[in-house]
Amino acid sequence: MLKEYTNAPVQEVTMAVHFEPVMGLNTIGLIERCLAMKGMLGEFDLQETPYSPTHLESVGRKLPTQHFKISDGVPELGCRLTSIEKTESIHIQNNRFSVTWVRQADGQYPRYDTLKPAFFEKLNIFTEGEGLSKLNLVINQCGIQYVNQVADDDSSGFSMFNFIDLGHFNQHEGLSFSTTQRLEERGEVGRLYMEANTVFSFEADEKGQVNEKRLLQMKLTFRGAPKDNVGTFLDRGHEAIVLTFAQSLSESGRNLFKEIERAK
């Protein structure tokens, strides 16, 4: 039974599919499709973004690799559609489609049961929206990522988790921790990445004074090539992320995030 958290530290969730490059989505074709999507989605802003390289997961053991690329002709680019409320963004390029949801202003965090159908709804608009030529994507990878943040101003952020003991390093200025798991199920290989880092944010108070805030940011990412379909792979990734998060919590973390049994 999966756990659930009524006070979860989730700040954002991203779902993505990677596919073989679509020739018709280079520069002008991509912008035209994004403009059409903007009209269908409503209150979204559109902006161009730098092209983001994609790296496919290998089936076997992961080894260090080097990447380089020589560009020729018109540079590739990406587009981002961002909701007016800044709570949702869609990133599109000729080999990748992703949707990111961020925590609401009222404190409500994105729930998987709501986000999954919303993701496929937007993916469907992208591939065969009204007035658009249909895209037949050859999907070679998909993934899901959760970004959590915990206040760490008094060096207590890591005490919410059990994977590292900072008892003798309570004056640390910053810390980084990462691990990778290769998870195989019925011949389908996915990798789960856990990354924990100290990050800083800057906020102005009522007097306009800018204050520095230290946070512990924990990213949990599951990605790989889907064997059957994207939806099933995302379900598997969501389960792996929730289980790993639950197993990594200390007693203090379970109490702070208000752990409960997930309703059936």
Same domain flag for 147 and 83 = no
pLDDT at 23: 85
pLDDT at 55: 76
Same domain flag for 126 and 178 = no
pLDDT at 59: 66
Below-50 pLDDT ranges, the chain = 65-74
pLDDT single digits (tens) 213-225: 888 899 999 999 9
Same domain flag for 109 and 217 = no
Judge whether 68 lies within some domain: no
Same domain flag for 132 and 154 = no
pLDDT at 70: 46
Same domain flag for 147 and 232 = yes
Same domain flag for 174 and 237 = yes
* pTM: predicted TM-score of the whole model, two decimal places: 0.88
- The Cα 153–Cα 133 span in angstroms is 51
pLDDT at 104: 82
The SS3 call for residue 141 is strand
Same domain flag for 224 and 202 = yes
Same domain flag for 154 and 227 = yes
pLDDT at 71: 47
Burial track 106-135 (b if 16+ CB lie within 10 A, e otherwise): eeebbebeebbeebbebbebbbebeeeeee
**Domain total of the chain:** 2
Helix axes 112-128 and 230-248, enclosed angle (nearest 10): 150
pLDDT at 254: 92
Same domain flag for 219 and 178 = yes
Judge whether 81 lies within some domain: yes
Judge whether 70 lies within some domain: no
pLDDT at 243: 95
Same domain flag for 1 and 40 = no
Domain that holds residue 9: 1-15+141-264
- The residue among 25, 10, 13, 162 whose CA lies nearest residue 93 is 25
pLDDT single digits (tens) 31-77: 999 999 999 998 999 999 988 877 777 766 555 544 444 444 445 78
Q: Evaluate whether 27 touches 93 at the Cβ level (below 8 Å).
A: no
pLDDT at 66: 47
The CA radius of gyration of the chain, in Å to the nearest whole number, is 20
